[in-house]
Amino acid sequence: MLGEAAVRAGCRYYFGYPITPQNEVPEYMSGRLLEVGGTFVQAESELASINMVIGAAMAGARVMTTSSSPGISLMQEGISYLAGLELPAVIANVVRGGPGLGNIAPAQSDYFQATRGGGHGDYRTIVLAPSSCQELCDLTMKAFDLADKYRNPVMILGDGMMGQMMEPVEFPEMIDLADLPAKDWTITGNQGRPSRALLSLLLTPKVLEDHNYKLVRKYDAVTRSETDWEEYLLEDARQVVVAYGTAARIAKGAIKRVRSMGLKVGLLRPKTLWPFPSQPIKELTRIVRQLLVFEMSTGQMVEDVEMAVAGQAQVHFYGRPGGVIPTPEEVAHQISHYYYQAGLMDGEDEAKRRGGVA
């Protein structure tokens, strides 16, 4: 699905190395790209694949690689170069349990790696977090547009569950590559113009500083225009769960459950992990005093939530690392535990709120 969406977004070049749980993607691309006249190369390592991506991006192609956590660790060097060289590329990480070899079960333990850069240097990767098959398709298409628009690597952060799951999906039409804006920065030979070099090497500190600030301005523009999130049942919420990807699916199930018991709980689901929806989360603190961050890790995104909230609300955390798939029931249990603990039930809640103001 990821593969087909990429092809429809105009991706004609794929470089990758096998690693579970994402082997369906290279397998699919190897055949599909043949059909559409594209190129598939099974590289000798993730190091090689990300550098082939660099080369293809330099030449102006829409290009993608996919891998899973340990392979993404190997790619960090190349991702740093992509950012420094300002090259557009799409990288999907089907996250598995870690650290080390970990396991191949679905996890969300690469949040820090994805959103903090992962590689060396002052840079940002745009990180998209789909939570359904349809969204995986839509966000994959969008990833290519964002990459080109900002000349920046874009990472799609999924997990094995999303990789294996099947849901009905409506695929958008195949885009016409000719409709895409021309790229005037690629290296395609110096015919009719001076030679061009694509570099991240900037030996003069002042020049590199300027480049760093140029990147910062770009990242600010991305933050302003591309931050994306979903709000679910927030109108009357007294507690808000913050979760992304697969965890958000499970959280929605949990919220349905507790709603049927009369608990007023909503969900805020970041669709972009970087840029992180700090502003809407901050605004939430005007209407709720309690947030519950739920992740399939020991707690990574919770730090971003705490930063956004800046002490203006309680932030609780619940996580299941290691590839354990939490059930909606156990999350519902956590939600109600904190809900009752804070006395958010009717009446009592109002009284306390008024008391607090006085």
- Nearest residue (CB) to another protein, 41 versus 307: 41
Helix (H, G, I), strand (E, B) or coil at 156: strand
> What is the chain's alpha carbon radius of gyration, rounded to the nearest angstrom?
22
> Which residue lies nearer to another protein by CB, 112 or 232?
232
- Spatial separation of the C-alpha atoms in residues 106 and 162, rounded to whole Å: 8
What stretch of H or E contains 268?
strand 265-270
Measured CA to CA, the distance from residue 272 to residue 269 in angstroms comes to 9
CB atoms inside a 10 Å sphere around CB 146: 20
Identify whether the C-beta of residue 195 lies closer than 8 Å to the C-beta of residue 217.
Answer: no
> Is the C-alpha dihedral spanning 295, 69, 158, 308 positive or negative?
positive
Nearest distance in Å: CB 163, another protein:
8
Q: Can you give the binding site for another protein, defined by CB under 8 A?
A: 13, 15, 20-21, 39, 41, 43-45, 47-49, 51-61, 63, 77-78, 81, 85, 103-105, 160-161, 164-168, 187-192, 195-201, 249-250, 252-256, 325, 327-330
Tell me how far, at minimum, the Cβ of 84 lies from another protein, in Å. 9
Nearer to another protein, 230 or 303 (CB): 230
d(CA 254, CA 287): 21
Q: Give the span between the Cα atoms of 256 and 332, in whole angstroms.
A: 9
Residue of 296, 344, 331, 338 whose CA lies nearest to 315 = 338
Closer CB to another protein, 54 or 288, in the complex: 54
Closer CB to another protein, residue 100 or residue 192?
A: 192
Q: Residue 204 CB, nearest distance to another protein (Å)?
A: 13
Minimal distance, residue 15 CB to another protein, in Å: 7
What is the smallest separation between the CB atom of 198 and another protein, expressed in angstroms? 5
Distances (CA, A) of 349 to 239, 257, 353, 356: 11, 21, 6, 11
Nearer to another protein, 270 or 323 (CB): 323
302 and 273 Cβ atoms separated by less than 8 Å: no
Task: Give the span between the Cα atoms of 141 and 104, in whole angstroms.
Answer: 26
Which is nearer to another protein, 33 or 315 (by Cβ)?
33
Nearer to another protein, 87 or 309 (CB): 87
From the CB of 74, what's the least distance to another protein, in Å?
A: 11
Distances in Å between the alpha carbon of 28 and those of 5, 21, 333, 357?
11, 14, 40, 59
Question: What is the nearest approach in angstroms of another protein to the Cβ of residue 144?
Answer: 15
Question: Nearest approach, Cβ of 43 to another protein (angstroms)?
Answer: 7
